[in-house]
Amino acid sequence: MTETLYDQVPYPGSAYPQAHPDRLATIATLFGMSPPDVGTCRVLELGCGTGEHLVPMAAGLPKAQFLGIDLSPRQIEAATLASQRLGLTNLDLQVADIRSLGNHIGIFDYIIAYGVYSWVDQEVQEKLLQIMSNHLQPHGVGLVAYNTRPGWHMFEMVRDMMIFDTRDVQDPLAKVTRARQYLDYISRSSQVADDVYAAWLMEVEYYLSTAPDAYVLHDLLEEINEPLFFFQFMERAQKHKLQFLGEANYASMVVDNFPDHVLKVLRQEEDDRLHIEQCMDFLRNKKFRSTLLCHQQRTLTIPPKKALIRSFSFSCSFDPGEKEGEFRSRDGHIIIVRDAEQRELMEWLFETKPQWYTFDELAQKLNQEDLLELLQLCLNTSSLYFHLRQPTWHPAVSELPRATGVALLQAELGNQVTNLRHEALEISDDERTLLLKLDGNSKLAELTEELDLDVNRLVKRICHLALLEG
């Protein structure tokens, strides 16, 4: 097989909670589907890379089955090594071209293609959607993440500049260095007081300055990078008898998050979901989507029934705001909770983070009507995580604390680790030092003697980050 650019410079992958089967099943349930059980599901990831997304999923769902496909032998080799180190028996990793996949791969409950679609040619794009159509079980859910217009227009301009100046550079990393230098030159040369263009270039340059070289190489300097409008993507999906289920981020679909004068116009098209979604992309200058698809014959409940919220477990994904009753969600939404009992519940959820609670457990602290109202607000603003699967971590520090195998393995390589909520976290050097010692064989008192660290504080922090399994 011909060596790819990903063999020369592997892509720095990550865990994506919005692309976890639990999130896909959650959105499907909200819209009235009966998705396959996440705990025993069969999952296909197309373009799995080095396994940073797939391996933690397989480790966290030991009764599920996973198949990862990637064109790069080097990336599959890295994913295989991680899988072997963790002793996973439910993960199959294969070097393959998406175009070669046929009936031999079987049927799946969930199919994930995160960050593939925009970077392959139209033949592969069509095959990807065909796979979703042919290999998703009747109640299955697929996810495709891709670059979108109008937001990508400006990044496309920067990409064109970079490609122009590096057109004769062959070495991949030298190409990235040259591209960064050229963007810096253009940015500095364009600086004029109150100039919107210059300000935007500076913002992009700052954003890319913190990005790894491999990200710049693959996201901006690859030969193919095709952004498209949401409506264009859906036209392609519909040709394969797939329909729009929703977005992986539920809050992004909520029109109520817009000001009243915008909301008034959007509601004139409330019977046309695709039209509204495209309008919201224009309003937000959206540049990336994680779109969920299902078979056209599935009947969806639109809008979701509030009563369905009872089906889930919930955990905190907000921080307290500056004022009493103010909370800031993981997406930056600020909500104001004025009711004293609702506010007390929110504060308790934060204090007991990362513990999950069922609806019935929360209903012991707040009457059901007020609870449903609060949970709906939190759903609309990404202020709580909604889960279908039950937690696997320990909410308290044990006598012999044990970090997850995934976190221990990743901490050997650096400070980015994946927790049991499938979030990629950047931990501090001190947290990493302690985490590497949390193998379940050492008592906290022993670690306090051994390490020149505030062990009690740090281990509580590690527990709070959902990195302990015992």
Same domain, 130 and 175: no
Place of tokens 């937690």: 391
Q: How many C-beta atoms surround the C-beta of residue 438 within 10 A?
A: 27
What integer pLDDT is reported at residue 257 of this predicted model? 83
Same domain, 338 and 205: no
Same domain, 426 and 348: no
Same domain, 17 and 32: yes
Same domain, 209 and 336: no
What integer pLDDT is reported at residue 2 of this predicted model? 66
Mean pLDDT of 409-423: 95
What integer pLDDT is reported at residue 194 of this predicted model? 60
Mean pLDDT of 195-215: 86
Mean pLDDT of 83-111: 97
- Average pLDDT score, the chain: 93
Mean pLDDT of 432-455: 94
Q: Say if CB 65 and CB 109 are below 8 A apart.
A: no
Q: Which long-range contacts (CB under 8 A, 24 or more apart) does 374-379 make?
A: 374/337, 374/342, 374/345, 374/346, 375/309, 375/314, 376/306, 376/309, 377/335, 377/337, 378/314, 378/318, 378/329, 378/335, 379/30, 379/250, 379/251, 379/309
Structure confidence at residue 353 as a pLDDT band (50, 70, 90): confident
Residue 186 has pLDDT above 80, yes or no: yes
Parent domain of 186:
170-220
What integer pLDDT is reported at residue 306 of this predicted model? 87
Structure confidence at residue 271 as a pLDDT band (50, 70, 90): confident
Residue 363, in any domain of the structure = yes
Structure confidence at residue 264 as a pLDDT band (50, 70, 90): confident
Three-state DSSP class for residue 58: helix
- pTM to 2 decimal places: 0.94
Residue 5 has pLDDT above 70, yes or no: yes
Same domain, 288 and 409: no
Listed range (166-175, 194-203, 381-390) with the worst mean pLDDT: 194-203
Domain count, the chain: 4
| Residue in 9, 219, 226, 6 with CA at minimum distance from that of residue 97 | 6
Task: Report the share of the chain in percent with pLDDT over 70.
Answer: 99
Residue 165, in any domain of the structure = no
